[in-house]
Chains A and B, each alone.
Chain A
Amino acid sequence: MKTIKSLFILSIVTTILILSLLGTPAINSQVVPVGGLQFGAFENGLSLHQLYKRSYYTFSPFNDYVLDRESKIALISAGEAASIESNPLTAISYSLEKLAGSYKPAISFEGKNKVTYESSIINNDLVVTRSVALKGASGKKTLGTTLSFDMNDIVFDKSGNLYNIVDPELLDTFTKMSGINLLPNTYDSQITLSEKTIYIASNDIATVIAITASGNQTLKVDWNARTIAIEEEVAPKNGVYKTSVNVKVFKNVGEAYGI
């Protein structure tokens, strides 16, 4: 009888504690560090950014596309934004996962297609994996991942080719800081790179992002639209097209170049 009463009281205590935990306020900015940047899920997708800075480098289904003949079709249309779940339970699980070092930002969108972005992070290495269930599609498709860069970000490769137009004074500062002379490109609006890695030195944040194409991926820069695209032809597995993008975040060009 005593044990039953004790169990009953224990269940009341447990209920109070569980209900109390539900009072925890939500944490809106659930992020994890990647090098000098933070990485987290926002309404538009997964973003690399630094707190309070204005620059964002976002993986988003609104920018990503599937090639249909020559035209690019966005994976998700405007107005189909994902809702970010922010409640006491996500706040608690985020905090505990962060403590354990196992938090991995992810986000899903469901519109005309179902698109999921998942991530894995080791120190300053980030791999973003996108799974797309393309409605009515079968067979191989070419899919593109797009990252936007800011005006006056410096976009270049390891051979020293510059891929966008930059304020000359800023470029001069970059050269003084890094010791690297960048050669202006021919300024074709759209360039397909022969190199496998492209770098973005942010104008606003002390950071350099390297995007490396793997396997049959191709890197393309459109400086007019200020975008870098990673295109890849993929075959579906169980109706899902899966692609990955490798990103590395460095403190500066010296670290990126290994000098």
Chain B
Amino acid sequence: MEFNAILIALFALIFPIAIGRPIVHFLMKKELPLPFISYFLAGLFTLFASTVVINLIGTFLNLPFPFVFQGIVSALAFILIPINIIVPTKDLNFKPYILPLLFSIGLGIGIFTLFGQNSPYPLNWDLYEHQTLIQNMISGRFSLIPSNITDTFGFNGYSTLFHTLLAAPQTFIKSAVLPLWNALDLIHLIIITFASYLFGKSVSGKESVGYLTAIFGGAVFDSTISFTNLFLMPQTFTAAIFIFLFAQLIESVKRNQHLSLGLIVINTLAIFLNHFIIGFVAGTLYLTTALFLKFRHFIEAKVNLKLVAEIVAVLAIIAILFSGFLPLESINKGEAGNFNFTLIEKFNALRQSYGFLPLFLLPIGAAYIVNSKKKLEVLIGVITVLLIALLLLQIPYVVKFFVLAKFFISFVLALGVFRLISNIKNRALYVLSYCLLLGALLILFATNATSWKGILLYNSLATQISPSEIEAASFLKNNYKGANALIISDPATQHVLEPLAEVNSQGGAYMDISTREHLIGISDSDEAQKVASTLAKIDDKLAPAASKKLFVLGGRYFEWQKMSEARKLDLSQNIWYPVDLSIADRKRINSLVAGSNNLKIVYENQALVVVEYSQTSLK
């Protein structure tokens, strides 16, 4: 892993904490439990708010954004970080966290190494679109919402908080994109494992339950849609923030230092702004729980909680039963149907990650909660049931909410294991039972990862990008970066090349319907003039008209063109794995280029050929 990549990843984690700590100390009169999450959020919001405000002033004064952004990051670093020296150091007692942190680092590195077997490049498909946005930001476009920055984002599911955070170190430190995201994913995995520990420990008050929750949080890969622990993206980033804040909330209640209403609202907003859909559910859960815990005595006196629980349970059952009758064909051009899963499919997804473990351990964990009668554990049990009910709804995208449910399910599973092994009084057998659990989870992880990576096989690798594509991106970067060029290819090729080459494309993997229709129109055409005139029509509406068009004809492009028209129009359909050019593909490229003076091969390797299109003759 590259040094610069690790540096950027650590910068993104530590910089907000370092600038946020003096701010929190200045604003908060009393000490917060688990204060580092508040420091992080204060720093993140300060960075984002400063960027928004100063960018407005900069735009008015005609100052280029990269200059403004570097100035903001430098100013925050030089003004706020030194103040840390004069801030009281009572909060810097790391002793209780050293062992769990070392455990999280060890487990994280182990799982990451296991997952990275035969996969040198990150398998986080979304990294390409987020890095595209970050690069657009660094090169001068900034907005509160992604779709104003790049046409890769047609739907604004989140603000640009996440991207501003990752752009800050990248304005100063340069790193290759793929090693950088490997480093980011590794740090994310360690943080998720540590957050799971804190959550389990806070709720139960027991170290061992904390470690068991960390094992389930870090070593189980939820490989269907949510990807909580292995991939850094806005939804998993939001979940991490949510669970840290939740642990902080629980700690505050246990210490009888209830958080102020203002802080609860700000925290809710922080969760929401990082992902509008996941954040809405997570924020609602956080806000409701925080208010309930704050005003518990009053609510318990006025409201029949048992009746409320019964009504909610009946409504949940009705919703689960009847949600399957929703007319999905009317939603998002029917694409929503692709992200809807039957109950059997959801059960199989659970089996893929956990085997039959939940069938045994969830009931034991639930029984433990019921018997223990500890109000906090009962509350977590109720939230777990609500989240499971949400996951069982037969409406599109709900499986995404597993990103939140995973922590609660991990906790109940951990309680289940704890209930069993806490009765083992022989020390050696006790340790052995932990080892057996970890061993079983590693076997499940290995099988799950092998199966998940089975659709990404390329030579001896499991990958979403080939070395030849990386070489081609390097060529494009060296020759066309900043040249107002536009890559035109199938969605997946555009998706992987755009951030690596730093050359624009129309929509990346989310190319619009009009571009798709243009490309469908030349799917089996070898007529050079028809192809040339089609290329002339394609442009990015957010950017100035491209002066150079680069038609990238790779193995993926030809595979994509072989798909049915309906699948080519479907945003959820991509060629996810690299494909090299066959002789038949080469034949088509040769006959295409030979027939036109406007098309010229400027680069080729075994995976793809880059054809430059110009309105004037190139030959």
Binds A, one of B75-83, B327-335, B354-362: B354-362
Q: Chain B residues near A172 (CB, 8 Å)?
A: 587
Query: Is B405 among interface residues, defined by CB-CB distance under 8 A?
Result: no
In the complex with contacts A25-B348, A51-B457, A252-B606, A13-B433 CB distance below 8 A: yes
Would you call A27 and B451 a contact (CB within 8 A)?
Answer: yes
Which residue on chain A has the smallest CB distance to residue B347?
Answer: A23
- Do B437 and A17 touch across chains, with their CB atoms under 8 A apart? yes
Give every chain B residue within 8 A of A94 (Cβ-Cβ): 450
Chain B CB within 8 A of A170 CB: yes
Q: Which of A1-35 touch B at CB < 8 Å?
A: 2-3, 5-7, 9-10, 12-14, 16-25, 27, 29, 31, 33, 35
The distance from the CB of B418 to the nearest CB of chain A, in whole angstroms, is 11
Q: Which of A58-66, A200-208, A224-232, A236-244 lies on the face that meets chain B?
A: A200-208
Q: Is A129 at the interface (CB under 8 A from chain B)? A: no
Can you report 23 A-B residue pairs in the complex whose CB atoms are below 8 A from each other? A2-B426, A5-B423, A6-B424, A17-B437, A17-B440, A20-B355, A20-B360, A20-B440, A22-B356, A23-B355, A23-B359, A24-B355, A25-B348, A27-B447, A29-B454, A52-B559, A96-B443, A169-B587, A173-B587, A202-B583, A206-B579, A206-B582, A252-B606
**Pair B446/A202 contact, Cβ less than 8 Å:** no
Known: A2-B426, A51-B455, A92-B443. A23 touches B357 (CB 8 A): yes
Residues of A close to B421: CB separation below 8 A = 9, 13
- Could you tell me the distance between the alpha carbons of A23 and B448 in the complex, rounded to whole angstroms? 11
Q: Chain A residues near B547 (CB, 8 Å)?
A: none
Give the complex CA separation of A170 and B555 in angstroms: 17
Closest residue of B by beta carbon distance from A202: B582
Give B residues with C-beta under 8 Å from A.
114, 117, 348, 351-352, 354-357, 359-361, 417, 420-421, 423-426, 429-430, 432-433, 436-437, 440, 443-444, 446-451, 454-455, 457-460, 555, 559, 577, 579-584, 586-587, 590-591, 606
CB <8 Å contact, B425 and A6: yes
Closest to B580 in A: A206
Chain B residues with CB under 8 A of A16 = 357, 360-361, 420
Give every chain A residue within 8 A of B117 (Cβ-Cβ).
99
Q: What distance in Å separates the Cβ of B492 from its nearest Cβ neighbour in chain A? A: 13
Complex: chain B residue closest to A96, CB-CB: B446
Interface size class of A (residues with CB under 8 A): 35 or more
A198 adjacent to chain B (CB < 8 Å): no
Given contacts A9-B424, A251-B606, contact A154 B450 (CB under 8 A): no
Q: Which of A109-125 contact B (CB under 8 A)?
A: none
* A59-104 at interface with B (beta carbon < 8 Å): 88, 91-92, 94-96, 98-99
Closest residue of chain A to B416 (Cβ to Cβ) is A16
Instruction: Using A27-B450, A31-B457, A51-B455 as known contacts, list a sample of 11 further A-B pairs with CB atoms less than 8 Å apart, ordered by residue number in A.
Output: A16-B360, A20-B359, A20-B440, A21-B440, A21-B443, A23-B355, A23-B357, A24-B355, A154-B583, A169-B587, A172-B587
- CB–CB B360/A24 < 8 A: no
Chain A residues near B579: list those with CB within 8 A: 206
Chain B CB within 8 A of A161 CB: no
Contact of B351 with A23 in the complex, beta carbons under 8 Å: yes
Contacting pair B450 A95 (CB below 8 A): yes
5 smallest beta-carbon distances between A and B, as pairs: A23-B356, A206-B580, A23-B355, A95-B450, A20-B357
Report how far A172 CA is from B436 CA in the complex, Å.
61
When the two chains form their complex, are residues A169 and B447 in contact, meaning their CB atoms are under 8 A apart?
A: no
B444 touches A24 (CB 8 A): yes
Nearest to A205 among chain B residues (CB) is B582
**Residue A174 interfacial (CB < 8 Å):** yes
Instruction: Tell which of B360, B432, B448 has the most Cβ of chain A within 10 Å.
Output: B360
A152 within 8 A of B: yes
Closest to A18 in B: B440
Residues on A with C-beta less than 8 A from B436 are 10, 13-14, 17
**Within residues 145 to 174 of chain A, which ones have a CB less than 8 A from any CB in chain B?**
152, 154, 169-170, 172-174
Measured in the bound complex, the distance between the Cα atoms of B457 and A201 in whole Å is 21
* Complex: A74 Cα to B433 Cα, angstroms: 54
In whole Å, how far is B445's beta carbon from the nearest beta carbon of chain A? 9
Closest residue of chain B to A17 (Cβ to Cβ) is B440
CB-CB nearest in chain B for A26 = B451
The answer on a CB contact under 8 Å between B457 and A38 is yes
Bound Cα distance from A202 to B606, whole angstroms: 14
Residue of A nearest to B445 (CB): A95
Let me know if A173 and B426 touch, CB within 8 A: no
Chain A residues, CB < 8 A from B449: 95
User: Does residue A137 face the partner (Cβ distance < 8 Å to B)?
Assistant: no
Contact among B354, B424, B433, B591 with A169 in the assembled complex (CB-CB below 8 Å):
B591
Q: Report the minimal beta-carbon distance from A223 to chain B, rounded to whole angstroms.
A: 18
- With both beta carbons as reference points, the residue of chain A lying nearest to B351 in the complex is identified as A23
Cβ-defined contact, B420 with A13, below 8 A: yes
**How far is it, in angstroms, between the C-alpha of A172 and the C-alpha of B460 when the chains are bound?**
30
Q: Which residues of B contact A193 (CB under 8 A)?
A: none
**Chain A residues, Cβ within 8 Å of B555:** 206
Q: Mark A131-154, 1 if CB is under 8 A from B, else 0.
A: 000000000000000000000101
B552 CB to closest chain A CB, in angstroms? 16
